[in-house]
Structure 1
């Protein structure tokens, strides 16, 4: 069995699935080659952000899979028509109903796959085998490969043994400036921090303030956050090692739909870590629903946040139940190899139903 991957991929978004492909099929059976995918265009950044394709060859059978990693709920029609199964991170419920080949695969997050030497080798390989066959600037490939090493970490660090610290919350997120992010994402994250402060918990981290002219140009009142969240602001990037360590120690974490209402990377990280998660309702589909009180604690208003924080901080049995439920959900539905196994089995299932 051989797997061929289209090298014209956005590495920091594809890394999760590359690890899954390696685990399921064996690295020795995998190659990068643009030839089987020439009917799929990669002329624009929008194409680059769409996701990536791969095929699995077994004797005379070829199974074609496309993984859509776009934050927006967009179906890329040419990719959908090309593949046997279209795995999508951020579909709406309507899209799942309307597109028979589409399967929701849930949140993921960027990870580091190799050493510095290995990452540079990846980068050169992708450019030589894929980048030169696109109209995209090569700096995109270089930037995203290096990002996976500079700003991301190996998956094993997210699952390292740890102790939860009672009465302690760590949160780190960016203050965004799009209309949805301002009215929903920023607001709920801010209310979470205020509620944790009211409950008397020690808070570390907070909001990363984007202090750049282009942000203020797009959102003239962005500086209002300097006053509104003055107790929760930081203006330099936190170490990823600290981010992982402190998140693991946090007694509770908070999730809300992020940019373009997507499943943010945080949801994938929190489930992988096995954290007690408070979340607002999700706006994108999952491979299987999360259950309130079992593997997540949903809140529908800012008023419910305070009670949820207090309950999880003081009720150890409930917190443990959420933590175990989150980890179980991750292991069953979101682990890289589980996603790839499910997509591969869906091809066979779809072909039988043709």
Structure 2
């Protein structure tokens, strides 16, 4: 099996699936070339950042075209859907699987580092020149994507390695977003989770990252500064290191998930499942693979902010229940979400065995 990847696609949001391809086929079988994708145009930032095109060419000459759509919004890219045999999409609206026969549900992913700094930058430069003749992207913007993944992400081993949970301790770090959905859902649930942990007498680290100096924030959500008052005990303005973020998240008794901007699966859900954490979550708004996440088995769902406090108390005081959720989350990840598992499931859809 040979695997071709379009080099003109954004790296950070597709690094998870690239790792799955490397694990299954080996890097020597992965070929970065524009040639199999010349009929697909990459002429603007939206097309560059929507996902990743991949072609599988097996020993019998059978060609399978796959598009990995990693966008937050739940819309289908028509040109990519017409081009591919399988349309793998992270954020699928409920009901869309019945409308689009090519759709495949990978579940949430997250950005990971797959190379050393020198390896990553040389890899990025090679891909830039491979796709330069048919790409709009400047070298500076293109390489920023590769440099980001080294600075802000870590190898998947960092997420998988075991760290002991600290008693009565919660770490949470997330951004206060600034559209209407975030105000009514994402920010509200995240803030209420921290308030519930405070009310429960837990030790709290981290908080909510506050973008108060970003002009885009005030233009899109003029009342954004009111967070300075209602969440004044939980705000921070300096980015945490990824090493601290991962270690402290693992040490936390419980973590909190809620749909992020556009109602999407955020990276945090994929990270929490990989780490095997006891997760409290508001209802998910996008499809999950298999039977999905099930309350009391691999996640603890709350249907309103008012239910969060009881969920925090339950998980913090019932060690058996916490460990049950942790084990269930990790099992679900291993069965459905892990990078190589997603690629295997995807190819099984077209009758390929890996």
| Structure 1 residue ranges without an equivalent (≥5) | 350-354
Q: What secondary structure sits across from 1:172 in the alignment?
A: strand
How far, CA to CA, are the matches of 1:159 and 1:132 in structure 2? 40
Q: Name the Cα RMSD after superposition.
A: 1.0
Q: Does 1:244 align with 2:246?
A: yes
Q: Deviations over 1:202-252 (max 9, x none)?
A: 110001110222311222111111111110011110010000000000000
2:281 equivalent in structure 1? 279
1:12 equivalent in structure 2? 12
Mean Cα displacement is larger for which, 181-190 or 205-214?
Answer: 205-214
Q: Identify if the C-alpha distance between structure 1 residues 131 and 15 changes in structure 2 by more than 3 Å, giving closer, same or farther.
A: farther
How far, CA to CA, are the matches of 1:38 and 1:66 in structure 2? 14
Q: What secondary structure sits across from 1:348 in the alignment?
A: coil
Q: Deviations over 1:142-195 (max 9, x none)?
A: 111111000000000001121001210000001110110111100000000001
Shift of 1:38: 1.2
Mean Cα displacement is larger for which, 247-256 or 114-123?
Answer: 114-123
Shift of 1:328: 0.2
1:318 equivalent in structure 2? 321
How far, CA to CA, are the matches of 1:164 and 1:181 in structure 2? 30
2:223 equivalent in structure 1? 221
How far, CA to CA, are the matches of 1:56 and 1:199 in structure 2? 52
2:115 equivalent in structure 1? 114
2:269 equivalent in structure 1? 267
Runs of 4+ in 1 over 4 A off after TM superposition: none
How far, CA to CA, are the matches of 1:151 and 1:214 in structure 2? 22
1:144 equivalent in structure 2? 145
Q: What secondary structure sits across from 1:347 in the alignment?
A: coil
Within 5 Å, give how 1:207-218 maps onto structure 2: 207-210=208-211, 211-218=213-220
How far, CA to CA, are the matches of 2:64 and 2:273 in structure 1? 30
Mean Cα displacement is larger for which, 188-197 or 219-228?
Answer: 219-228
Mean Cα displacement is larger for which, 29-38 or 245-254?
Answer: 29-38
1:101 equivalent in structure 2? 102
How far, CA to CA, are the matches of 1:139 and 1:116 in structure 2? 16
How far, CA to CA, are the matches of 1:344 and 1:25 in structure 2? 13
Shift of 1:136: 2.7
1:305 equivalent in structure 2? 308
1:352 equivalent in structure 2? none
**How many residues are paired up?**
349
How far, CA to CA, are the matches of 1:43 and 1:270 in structure 2? 35
| Structure 2 residue ranges without an equivalent (≥5) | none
Kept in 2, the 8 Å contact 1:126–1:141? The answer is no
TM-score by length of structure 2 reads 0.97
Kept in 2, the 8 Å contact 1:131–1:141? The answer is no
TM-score by length of structure 1 reads 0.97
Q: Deviations over 1:259-308 (max 9, x none)?
A: 11100000000000000000000000011210100000000011110000
